[in-house]
Amino acid sequence: MTAENKIYFYPIWLRIWHGINALGILILIFTGINMQYSNPKFELINFQFIVNLHNIAGILVTLNYLLFFTGNILTSNKRYYRLKLKGLIKRLNLQIGYYTSGLFKHEQPPFPLSEKRKFNPMQKVSYLIVMYFFVPGLIITGLGLLFPETIIENVYSVSGIFLTAIFHASLGFLVSIFLIVHLYVASIGKNPLNNFKSIINGYHDMDAH
């Protein structure tokens, strides 16, 4: 493997952000599921500990999100998130076609990664949705639940806390699904561990997809 085949894809700030985010979100999902299905008669881990851990991880991920957000404003990393709507459906279809068929026939990917293109169209759309809608939504509802006195008491006749809680849990669930798919798709590379190594050492192997 020569140096020319590698691109420095993930600057150090991004890898730190990604590492903290991965750890934080794993803790949040684990503690979140524990709270959702808590049972006083069958307490695996102390409930209060789980709640505290969820709160601390939530605050950590929130502060970390600021790093992601400002990092993307200040550095050139933002260009990877710019989405051109024109022809988007066609590009998405091409990418879906690759994942569901072309990949198995060992065809070349329709959007090979380069210094100008870090994400394929599916990645770009899903990352945009997750990082600019789901995660901020979770942060806002999470902060609301952390300070419930700030939540509107009743929205028409429905409890504001109920709406916030159900929105928070639903978004959390969707992020969990994203995480599972994200981890699986990351295993599609030259070899299954290739992309995981990239996000740690920063270099993307161009021989991998």
Partner 1 sequence: MRSSFQVLLILFFLGFSLKSLAQEKKLAPENDLCLKCHTHQTFTFHNTLTKHDDRRMMNPLYILDMDRLTSGVHAKFKCTDCHSADYAKYPHNAELKLEPLSTCLDCHGGDKKYAVYQFEKIDEEFQKSVHFQKSGESFTCSKCHNQHYYQAKSRNSSVVGDIVSFSNEMCMSCHSNNVKFQLISDTLKPALSQIHSWLPNQALHFKNVRCIECHTRVVDSLSVSHNILPKSKALNNCVECHSKNSMLKASLYKYKNLQIRSEGGKLTSIISNKSYVIGAYQNIALNYISIIIFLLALAGICIHLIIRIVKK
Q: Which of 121, 112, 113, 116 is nearest to 90 (CA)?
A: 121
CB of 204 to partner 1, least distance (A): 20
Could you write out the three-class secondary structure of 26-72? HHHHHHHHHHHCCCCCCCCCCHHHHHHHHHHHHHHHHHHHHHHHHHH
- Residue given tokens 């699986």 in the structure block: 184
> What is each CA distance from 17 to 24, 43, 72, 193, in whole angstroms?
10, 33, 11, 20
Q: Is 166 in the site for partner 1 (CB under 8 A)?
A: yes
| Candidate list 82, 84, 105, 116; residue touching partner 1; CB under 8 A | 105
Q: Indicate which single residue of 60, 165, 186, 206 sits in contact with partner 1 (rule: CB under 8 A).
A: 165
Write the DSSP symbol of residue 79.
Answer: G
Tokens of 83: 């989405």
Q: Which of 5, 26, 43, 87: binder of partner 1 (CB under 8 A)?
A: 43
Residue from 96, 158, 193, 200 in contact with partner 1 (CB under 8 A) = 158
181-184 long-range Cβ contacts below 8 angstroms, 24+ apart: 181/126, 182/126
37 binds partner 1 (CB under 8 A): yes
Q: Which stretch binds partner 1 (CB under 8 A): 17-25, 135-143, 181-189, 194-202?
A: 181-189
- Please select the residue that binds partner 1; options are 3, 4, 12, 39, rule is CB under 8 A: 39
Does 86 participate in binding partner 1 (rule CB under 8 A)? no
Rounded least distance, CB 165 to partner 1, Å:
5
Which range, of 58-66, 74-82, 112-120, 158-166, touches partner 1 by CB under 8 A? 158-166
> Between residues 45 and 83, which has the closer beta carbon with respect to partner 1?
45
Residue 92 binds partner 1, judged by CB under 8 A: no
Distance CA(205)–CA(209), nearest Å, equals 8
Helix 121-129 vs helix 88-97: angle between axes, to the nearest 10 degrees?
110
Q: Which two tokens stand for residue 67?
A: 């790093």
| Local structure of residue 84 (DSSP, 8 states) | -
| Residue 170 within binding range of partner 1, rule CB under 8 A | yes
Q: Is 154 in the site for partner 1 (CB under 8 A)?
A: yes
Residues that bind partner 1 (CB under 8 A): 35-41, 43, 47-48, 51, 99-100, 103-106, 145, 148-149, 154, 157-159, 161-162, 165-166, 170, 173, 176-177, 180-181, 184, 188
